[in-house]
Amino acid sequence: MNFQAISAIYTFEMARFFRTLLQSFLSPVLSTCLYFVVFGTAIGSRIENVDGVDYGAFIVPGLIMLSVMTQSIANASFGIYFPKFIGTVYELFSAPVNFLEIVVGYVGAAATKSLFIGLVILGTAFLFVDLEIQHPIAMVCLLLLTCLSFSLLGFIIGIWAANFEQLNLVPLLVVTPLVFLGGSFYSISMLPPIWQTVTLFNPVVYLISGFRWAFFGQADVSIGFSLGAISLFTLLCMAFIWWIFKTGWRIRT
């Protein structure tokens, strides 16, 4: 394992992040504040609690997941797409660096960025609601696993995308709607029975439900299913990336 190569890629990506530090942190903080104003105040005044949890606190795990998923994809996809767009990625491919070191460098940096943003949003949430995390270690582990898995997905999107429009296609048209329909701001038990069944086919439900369990000790689905879903998703992304580098799909031209 060439740790010097990993460090070089990771350091370069993190340096780009810190150059826009204010923008990187200010945007999610403002978005979180707006969500609390709209959902926590306007809707929360009509829904006092969900399953015994204050509504303002109930939406915190969903807000963190929404930002972490979208930021992980955006950071990882842009990180690998831009060198591919300007052609410098081929210098990296011709260097004595294997695909695992490339993936660890880019995905590790993207996961670190989204983890920072998730923690910033968590800290912002404490300014609005009284929040108690019942399983802090599980919360951190689930947060790290989500950052990693969606950074891997973002890396795949960055390799697949042929232009900037495609780069934003999956996050805007697929991931964000799935998060909103995955119980971010409500419990799926509040839905009619038929829609509860339909919602269970949304993989994001299991992520948000498991993350909410870490906060409040209760979830819409079993924590075992949540861990199994995110682990399977991570393994599938890793397998697909291995196939990309084995076949040269989208990177040889």
Instruction: Please state the domain count of the chain.
Output: 1
Q: How far apart are the C-alpha atoms of 159 and 122, rounded to whole Å?
A: 31
Q: How far apart are the C-alpha atoms of 45 and 233, rounded to whole Å?
A: 37
Name the nearest CA neighbour of 71 among 22, 115, 36.
115
Report yes or no on 155 lying in a domain: yes
Report yes or no on 131 lying in a domain: yes
Write out pLDDT tens, residues 13-43.
Answer: 999 888 877 777 777 778 878 887 777 667 7
Whole-angstrom CA distances from 58 to 50, 120, 125 are 7, 17, 11
Name the nearest CA neighbour of 110 among 73, 56, 62, 59.
73
Report yes or no on 68 lying in a domain: yes
Report yes or no on 30 lying in a domain: yes
Report yes or no on 253 lying in a domain: no
* Position 253 confidence tier, pLDDT thresholds 50, 70, 90: low
Name the nearest CA neighbour of 148 among 248, 71, 79, 226.
71
Domain boundaries, position 55? 3-247
At residue 31, the 3 state secondary structure works out as: helix
Mean pLDDT for 205-210 is 93
The radius of gyration computed from the CA coordinates of the chain, to the nearest angstrom, equals 19
Mean pLDDT for 198-212 is 91
Report yes or no on 252 lying in a domain: no
